[in-house]
Amino acid sequence: MSPSHETPATLPRSAVMAMLDEAMLQAASARVNGGNAEHRPVRAVVAVDLHLSFMRPATGQAVATAQVVGGGKTMVFCEAQLRNAPGDVVAQAMGTYRAQNA
């Protein structure tokens, strides 16, 4: 019998993409809604364009962070990173998001 060992589960590429998209979607939504959706109508945000780069396999726990890097009231440009537990970037993305009419 050969020795066995556990290898950490690798996140599917679709999960990596979904995590990065969701992080950018939240950042874009906060931007177009002024960071405060309680006192004004919330404008929905949709992805227009998404570019994704995989750096290494995403194993174990991962955290996605995103920031708005440009745009205006309707179009928002974002960047996001997915990092593993040691803090290495395993994937990064750039996205363009558009606000819908309220």
Dihedral of CA atoms 30, 32, 38, 44 in degrees, nearest 10, equals -90
72 residue type, one letter: G
Local confidence band at 9 (pLDDT 50, 70, 90 cut-offs) = confident
Establish if 3 belongs to a structural domain: no
Establish if 5 belongs to a structural domain: no
How many domains would you assign to the chain? 1
Establish if 29 belongs to a structural domain: yes
The pLDDT, as a whole number, for residue 14 is: 92
> Residue 60: is its pLDDT beyond 90?
no
pLDDT tens-digit map of 63-100:
999 999 999 889 999 999 999 999 999 999 999 999 99
What CATH number is given to the structural domain containing 78? 3.10.129.10
Establish if 2 belongs to a structural domain: no
Structural domain containing residue 41: 13-99
Establish if 58 belongs to a structural domain: yes
Whole-model pTM? 0.85
Establish if 37 belongs to a structural domain: yes
> Residue 6: is its pLDDT beyond 60?
no
